[in-house]
Amino acid sequence: NAGVTQTPKFRVLKTGQSMTLLCAQDMNHEYMYWYRQDPGMGLRLIHYSVGEGTTAKGEVPDGYNVSRLKKQNFLLGLESAAPSQTSVYFCATRTGTGGYNQPQHFGDGTRLSIL
């Protein structure tokens, strides 16, 4: 039972390159989230999904796209990477059972550097 798995763990990109980060969960959770974490700024929500086939913008969505074609996977794409997107990216999931007050569970993160 892996929980929340993020791939890759590390990546270095050049400005203008594209890439996709994958989040996979085996907990059958409805809600999935992508965050970025920068020093001194806490976690900021990029995009989220409340179920298969749905996505919504968070606090800092510009420069990112997402897709949730299957319930267990949530993909984060960078179409044209910029140095400002250098960050640690976390995926989180939450069950929809039991109301809003359920904790989010996190993957181990992807450290992304844009040169």
Partner 1 sequence: EDKVVQSPLSLVVHEGDTVTLNCSYEVTNFRSLLWYKQEKKAPTFLFMLTSSGIEKKSGRLSSILDKKELFSILNITATQTGDSAIYLCALNSNYQLIWGAGTKLIIKP
**Sites of contact with partner 1 (CB under 8 A):** 4, 31, 33, 40-45, 48, 50, 56, 58, 90, 100-101, 103-109
Q: Are 46 and 61 in contact (CB under 8 A)?
A: yes
Q: Work out the burial of residue 91: count CB atoms within 10 Å of its CB; fewer than 13 is exposed, 13-18 middle, 19 or more buried.
A: buried
The minimum distance between CB 63 and partner 1, in angstroms, equals 19
Q: By C-beta, is 40 or 97 nearer to partner 1? A: 40
Strand partners, 38: 42
Specify the residue, 18 or 54, whose C-beta has the smaller distance to partner 1: 54
8 Å CB contact between 37 and 88: yes
We find the least distance from the C-beta atom of residue 18 to partner 1, in angstroms, to be 26
Name the CA radius of gyration of the chain, rounded.
13
Q: Which is nearer to partner 1, 15 or 54 (CB)?
A: 54
Compute the least distance from the CB of residue 85 to partner 1, in Å: 19
